[in-house]
């Protein structure tokens, strides 16, 4: 018997019909063209698919495909058709179908976990395939990509049009056993490949990047197909060999990595603050856990914590810091429950809620959270209000700001007396560290440090937070603007960039919520791998020239919509957008063909080069730098910072003397010999003379090292140890150096060996 699915219960109210029909489609309800097979696909295609069902990356008869279905070369995509990224995977699929006809393109459906509308779209797509076949499936996907967020009768109408099957039959089919089991099979295949979310694309079993132009990906697939055709190898054998190569490469990479990918000795300034605590205030060791109630790895580390409690008792205390990840929709409601439990019952209530939620992460929906609250004896009305209004948002935001300051990205992120450990670490990994910290604490006690002040004393010599990087960048008169706020947000981006398209709703939300504070400015940064981006930039400039900023922003919207379509930024498409925007299309075409605004485009690119921006999107928020399609919380946090600090703090090297030393003191002009370990603010070690066992010799004042070293080493004494936190402008600024990204704050542990 098919077990009840949470998402099936959730989508039934969204269906166009009444109550749920029988899970089986009556043979008589199928159109005549599909009744022979009962599945909307021919028996010959079933046989081809059946051939590959036993492969390491299996393909079955219910997988929709394009191209040559008998081919050994396969591009297999895991896709959530309701997500924005589906348009990019469709573009790639169509490009491969067109340019490499000897290849088959196969789609498996992987809607986001706990996303009922997404599961509804996927179930409808599978129903379209079952009843209408391959072409119908991709016709439906074309419509889904064009009309996002369609649901109810609109969704069924689109499916009926694509498949040629009536709505009632489709509504029954998407609730059928075979649709539900197919979606679960796809989930299991993805889980077996350690794929947790869509999109993910594999070519003959090997994962490939999807952020490259579709033409480049098609070229790669064509090369693979030609090799396979000569070898005459079957798909199952190709996948087996491909997965084996990937595993061998992974092991080789693991073996070649530094022994210390993270600096496990450096101490980071992670205060307890007002966070929930389990354990005595005078514990010798404090473990701060940045975590998320929906994160499976946060649950996975709990047995480690239980073993620590059992082994060390009151010598260790635990602190919870909230870091709900953007793709975990239930993490914030769960955090609200935990904090409301604390408000009503203190830390004891918090940890009871914590245990209940991490012990049953499959049930964090609203009703389940209220059920937990009832079991804990909480006031349900207050809990419901806290979840509905995000009552404790300020506390979560404080934790998120601290996580950003110490670059605790990803959960769980642990700090053991300030020492960083990433991920669900086993007890065996943390035990020697805890033993070291207990010995360190005992030594401090002997020096007279009070037991309840141990952690504060340790943090006094810890690495401080990394401040946002400020750079001055004037806005040219030619740049399009929107809004009139005092905080200028300059976006350096590319109309063909999928990540620029992805961040567009985030920027729009920022503008809506902070309309009185923000002014948005567009700067062009067309990337080399996006051939249509320069032409789109020129089109946008011409729109502004003809009808001002209003016309520019209309073109902006039209072009980003066009990015998801084949040839959506071609000259003909751009002229179409110009006509839709009410522009003079003759002058518009002449401007494109004559590169009329090339000088403006080159000026934007030159400014991006000066700032060290080599990726899109990149932002200046009130002059403070932000790279990539970050979460809304990150944008809002930096906006708040920019409002509070319209003028940046002075760039200085922060110095902590761990051991003062007793030998000769360094002065500018001295020749010194040092050992050092260089670390990024996220804990990654990028260089270490100790690792090489080669002390570093340098003459201060001779321009041989970065400015931060010139300033930070002066005053050290031989035998001393010092920590330097160097801001980007005193480091490498906007230049990438090896593993060091541009605009990085650097942390060096320096030991002075000798002075001449």
Buried b or exposed e, range 208-231, using 16+ CB within 10 angstroms: bebeebbeebbebbbebbeebeee
Last residue of a domain, one of 411, 429, 459: 459
Q: Would 467 be classed as within a structural domain?
A: no
The secondary structure of 464-489 as a DSSP string is -PPPPPB---PPPTTS-EE---SEEE
Which of 623, 644, 665 represents a domain boundary (last residue)? Answer: 644
Q: What is the mean pLDDT of residues 109-122?
A: 87
Maximum distance among all alpha carbons in the chain?
95
Q: Distance (Å, rounded) from C-alpha 204 to C-alpha 370?
A: 46
- CB burial of 688-710 (b: ≥16 within 10 Å; e: otherwise) equals bbeeeeeebebebeeeeebbbbb
Burial of 460 (0-12, 13-18, 19+ CB in 10 A): exposed
Q: Is the pLDDT of residue 161 over 80?
A: yes
Range scoring the smallest mean pLDDT among 173-177, 507-511, 563-567, 637-641: 563-567
> 59 lies in a domain?
yes
Q: Which residue has the higher pLDDT, 474 or 216?
A: 474
- Is omega for the bond preceding 617 within 30 degrees of 0, making it cis? yes
Catalytic residues: 676, 686-687, 706, 732, 748
| CB-count burial class (<10 Å; 0-12, 13-18, 19+) for 11 | buried
In terms of domains, do 317 and 390 share one? yes
Region 22-26: mean pLDDT is 29
Where does residue 628 fall: left (phi above 0), alpha (psi -120 to 50 degrees), or beta otherwise? left
Taking each helix axis as running N to C, give the angle between helix 331-358 and helix 380-389, from 0 to 180 degrees, rounded to the nearest 10.
Answer: 130
Q: What letter does residue 262 receive in the DSSP assignment?
A: B
Angle at 50 between CA 44 and CA 55, to 5 degrees: 145
Residues 91, 85: Cα–Cα separation, whole Å: 10
Mean pLDDT of 311-338: 94
User: From the CB of residue 290, how many other CB atoms can be counted at a distance below 10 Å?
Assistant: 24
**Which one, of 73, 83, 143, lies nearest residue 113 by Cα?**
83
How far does Cα 103 stand from its chain's mean position?
31
Q: Is residue 490 part of a domain?
A: yes
CATH assignment of the domain containing 29: 3.40.30.10
Cα dihedral 713→716→718→723 (10° resolution): -70
- Statement to judge: residues 227 and 281 lie in one domain: no
Residue 51: the pLDDT is 62
| Among 719, 683, 523, residue whose Cα is nearest residue 608 | 523
d(CA 74, CA 422): 36
State the pLDDT at residue 594.
95
The mean pLDDT of 511-521, rounded to a whole number, is 95
Please tell me the predicted confidence (pLDDT) of residue 43: 37
| Gap between the Cα atoms of 671 and 648, Å rounded | 34
Question: How does pLDDT run across 162-199, given as a tens digit for each residue?
Answer: 889 999 999 999 999 999 999 999 999 998 888 888 88
> What is the C-alpha separation between 98 and 66, in angstroms, rounded?
10
Residue, of 234 and 417, whose pLDDT is higher: 417
Nearest to 82 by CA among 126, 120, 136, 137: 120
Q: Among 405-409, 431-435, 456-460, where is mean pLDDT lowest? A: 405-409
Cα 394 to Cα 268, 641, 646, distances in angstroms? 23, 15, 23
pLDDT at 627 over 60: yes
pLDDT at 36: 29
When pLDDT is cut at 50, 70 and 90, the band that residue 35 belongs to is very low
The C-alpha atoms of residue 163 and residue 9 are separated, in whole angstroms, by 25
CA atoms within 13 A on the CB side of 742: 16
- Are 454 and 485 in the same domain? no
Residue 19 confidence (pLDDT): 28
Q: Assess whether 367 and 512 both reside in one domain.
A: no
**CATH number, domain with residue 708:** 3.10.50.40
Domain-ending residue, one of 583, 613, 644: 644
* Structural domain contains residue 292: yes
Total-model pTM: 0.63
Q: Answer whether residue 492 is part of any domain.
A: yes
pLDDT higher than 80, residue 7: no
Expressed as residue numbers, the domain containing 527 is 481-644
Task: Please tell me the predicted confidence (pLDDT) of residue 15.
Answer: 32
Question: Quick check: 622 and 487 in contact, CB under 8 A?
Answer: yes
What is the model's pLDDT at position 211?
A: 67
Q: What band does 252 get if pLDDT is binned at 50, 70 and 90?
A: low
- In which order are the strands placed within the sheet that holds 481-482? 481-482, 518-524, 487-493, 618-621, 624-627
Q: Looking at the structure, do residues 659 and 633 belong to the same domain, yes or no? A: no
Residue 662 pLDDT > 90: no
Question: pLDDT tens digit string along 681-736?
Answer: 989 999 999 888 889 999 988 889 999 999 999 999 988 999 999 999 999 998 88
Cα–Cα nearest to 715, from 750, 678, 688: 750
Which residue in 667, 651, 652, 671 sits closest to 716, CA to CA? Answer: 667
Answer whether residue 40 shows pLDDT above 70: no
For the chain, what percentages of helix, strand and coil (3-state, to nearest 5) are there?
50, 15, 35
pLDDT at 50: 52
One domain, residues 29 and 118:
yes
By C-alpha distance, which of 411, 392, 414 is closest to 332? 392
Q: Are residues 302 and 198 in the same domain?
A: no
Residue 255, pLDDT above cutoff 70: no
Residue 336 has pLDDT above 50, yes or no: yes
Backbone angles phi, psi at 5, to 5 degrees: -100, 140
Which ranges of 55-102 would DSSP assign to H, the alpha helix?
86-99
Is the confidence at residue 32, as pLDDT, over 80? no
Give tens-digit pLDDT for 574-624: 999 999 999 999 999 999 999 999 999 999 999 999 998 888 999 999 999
Is 471 domain-assigned?
Answer: no
pLDDT score for 55: 86
Q: Are residues 121 and 205 in the same domain?
A: yes
Give the least confident one: 159-163, 212-216, 241-245, 387-391: 212-216
Does residue 224 belong to any structural domain of this protein? yes
Q: With residue 688 as reference, give the H or E element that holds it.
A: strand 685-688
Judging by beta carbons within 10 Å of its beta carbon (0-12, 13-18, 19+), is residue 306 exposed, middle or buried? exposed
CA Rg value for the chain: 29
Structure tokens at 146: 């064009």
Q: Which of 333, 308, 322 minimizes the C-alpha distance to 275?
A: 322
In the predicted model, what is the mean pLDDT of residues 244-270? 70
Residue 179 CA to residue 183 CA, distance in Å, equals 6
For residue 258, the model assigns a pLDDT of 42
One domain, residues 627 and 659? no
Average pLDDT score over residue span 666-674: 91
- In angstroms, rounded to a whole number, what is the distance separating the alpha carbons of residues 223 and 225? 5
**Average pLDDT estimate for 57-86:** 89
The answer to which of 220-229, 314-323, 424-433 has the lowest mean pLDDT is: 220-229
Do the Cβ atoms of 607 and 479 come closer than 8 Å?
A: no
- Over the chain, what is the mean pLDDT? 87
Q: Is the confidence at residue 145, as pLDDT, over 50?
A: yes
pLDDT at residue number 24: 29
Mean pLDDT of 496-518: 92
Q: Is 390 exposed, middle or buried, given 0-12, 13-18 or 19+ CB atoms closer than 10 A?
A: middle
Is residue 45 pLDDT above 60, yes or no?
Answer: no
Answer yes or no: is 254 within a domain.
no
**What are the structure tokens assigned to 29, written together?**
């309800």
Identify the helix (H) or strand (E) that includes residue 561.
Answer: helix 533-563
pLDDT at 555 over 60: yes
Mean pLDDT confidence for 444-472: 92
What's the burial of 32, exposed, middle or buried (CB within 10 Å: 0-12/13-18/19+)? exposed
Count the domains in the chain: 4
Residues 621 and 673 occupy one common structural domain:
no
pLDDT digits (tens, 9 = 90+) for 46-60: 455 556 887 889 998
* Tens-digit pLDDT profile for residues 270-303: 999 999 999 999 999 999 999 999 999 999 999 9
Residues 6+ apart with CB under 8 A from 18: none
Q: Nearest CA to 600 among 520, 544, 518? A: 544
The percent of residues above 70 in pLDDT, for the chain, comes to 91
Looking at per-residue confidence, does 43 or 51 come out higher? 51
Instruction: Give the pLDDT mean for 403-410.
Output: 88
Paired with 676 in beta bridges are 750
Residues 401 and 322 occupy one common structural domain: yes
What's the pLDDT score for residue 566?
77
Residue 731 phi, psi dihedral angles, 5° rounding: -110, -115
- Given a contact cutoff of 8 angstroms between Cβ atoms, the answer to whether 39 and 163 are in contact is no
- Token match 């750079």: residue? 471
Q: Cα torsion for 293, 323, 410, 281, to the nearest 10°?
A: -90
What is the percent of the chain where pLDDT is above 90?
63
Is the same domain home to 660 and 525? no
Phi-psi region of 595 (alpha: psi -120 to 50; beta: other; left: phi over 0): left
Between 146 and 490, name the one with better pLDDT: 490
């Amino acid at each position: 018997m098919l077990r009840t699915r949470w998402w099936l219960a959730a989508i039934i109210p969204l269906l166009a019909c009444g109550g749920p029909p029988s899970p089986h489609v009556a043979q008589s309800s199928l159109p005549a063209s599909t009744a022979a097979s009962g599945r909307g696909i021919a028996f010959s295609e079933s046989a081809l698919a059946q051939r590959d069902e036993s492969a390491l990356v299996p393909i079955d008869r219910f997988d929709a495909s394009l191209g040559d279905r008998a081919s050994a070369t396969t591009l297999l995509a895991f896709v959530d058709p309701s997500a924005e990224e589906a348009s990019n995977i469709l573009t790639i699929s169509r490009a491969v179908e067109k340019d490499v006809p000897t290849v088959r393109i196969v789609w498996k459906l992987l809607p986001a976990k706990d996303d009922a509308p997404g599961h509804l779209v996927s179930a409808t797509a599978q129903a379209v395939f079952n009843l209408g076949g391959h072409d119908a499936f991709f016709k439906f996907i074309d419509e889904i990509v064009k009309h996002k967020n369609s649901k109810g009768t609109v969704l069924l109408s689109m499916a009926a049009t694509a498949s040629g099957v009536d709505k009632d039959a489709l509504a029954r089919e998407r609730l059928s056993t075979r649709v539900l089991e197919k979606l679960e099979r796809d989930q299991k295949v993805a889980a077996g490949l350690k794929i947790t979310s869509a999109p993910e694309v594999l070519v003959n079993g090997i994962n490939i990047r999807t952020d490259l132009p579709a033409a480049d990906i098609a070229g790669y697939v064509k090369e693979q197909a030609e090799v396979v055709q000569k070898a005459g190898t079957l798909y199952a054998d190709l996948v087996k060999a491909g997965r084996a190569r990937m595993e061998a490469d992974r092991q080789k990479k693991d073996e070649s990595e530094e022994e210390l990918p993270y600096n496990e000795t450096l101490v980071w300034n992670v205060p307890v603050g007002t966070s929930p605590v389990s354990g005595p205030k005078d514990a010798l060791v404090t473990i701060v856990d940045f975590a998320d109630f929906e994160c499976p790895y946060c649950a996975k580390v709990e047995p480690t914590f239980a073993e620590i409690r059992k082994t060390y008792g009151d010598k260790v205390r635990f602190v919870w810091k909230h870091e709900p990840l953007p793709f975990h929709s239930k993490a914030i409601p769960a955090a609200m429950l935990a904090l409301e439990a604390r408000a009503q019952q203190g830390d004891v209530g918090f940890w009871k809620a914590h245990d209940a939620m991490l012990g049953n992460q499959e049930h964090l929906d609203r009703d389940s959270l209220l059920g937990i609250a009832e079991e804990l004896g909480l006031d349900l009305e207050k809990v419901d209000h806290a979840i509905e209004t995000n009552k404790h948002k300020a506390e979560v935001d404080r934790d998120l700001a601290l996580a950003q300051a110490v670059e605790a990205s990803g959960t769980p992120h642990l700090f053991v007396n300030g020492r960083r450990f990433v991920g669900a670490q086993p007890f065996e990994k943390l035990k020697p560290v805890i033993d070291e910290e207990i010995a360190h604490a005992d030594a401090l006690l002997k020096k007279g440090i009070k037991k309840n002040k141990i952690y504060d004393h340790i943090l006094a010599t810890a690495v401080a937070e990394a401040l946002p990087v400020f750079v001055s960048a004037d806005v040219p008169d030619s740049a399009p603007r929107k809004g009139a706020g005092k905080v200028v947000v300059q976006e350096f981006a590319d109309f063909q960039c999928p990540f620029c398209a992805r961040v567009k709703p985030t920027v729009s939300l920022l503008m809506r919520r902070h309309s009185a504070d923000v002014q948005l400015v567009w700067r062009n940064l067309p990337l080399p791998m996006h051939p249509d981006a320069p032409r789109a930039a020129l089109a946008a400039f011409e729109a502004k020239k003809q009808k001002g900023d209003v016309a520019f922003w209309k073109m902006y919207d039209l072009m980003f919509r066009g990015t998801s379509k084949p040839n959506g930024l071609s000259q003909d498409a751009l002229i179409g957008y110009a006509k839709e925007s009410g522009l003079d299309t003759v002058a518009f075409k002449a401007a494109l063909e004559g590169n009329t605004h090339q000088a403006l485009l080159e000026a934007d690119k030159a400014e991006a080069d000066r700032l060290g921006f080599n990726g899109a999107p990149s932002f200046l928020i009130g002059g403070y730098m932000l790279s990539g399609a970050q979460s809304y919380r990150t944008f809002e946090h930096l906006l708040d910072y920019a409002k509070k600090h319209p003028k940046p703090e002075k760039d200085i090297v922060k110095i902590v003397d761990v051991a003062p030393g007793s030998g000769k003191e360094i002065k500018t002009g001295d020749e010194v010999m040092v050992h050092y370990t260089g670390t990024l603010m996220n804990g990654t070690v990028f260089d270490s003379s100790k690792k090489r066992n080669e002390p570093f010799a340098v003459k201060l004042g001779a321009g041989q090292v970065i400015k931060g070293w010139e300033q930070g080493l002066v005053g050290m004494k031989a035998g001393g140890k010092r920590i330097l936190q160097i801001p980007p402008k005193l480091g490498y600024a906007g230049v990438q150096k090896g593993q060091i990204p541009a605009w990085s704050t650097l942390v060096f542990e320096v030991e002075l060996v000798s002075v001449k």
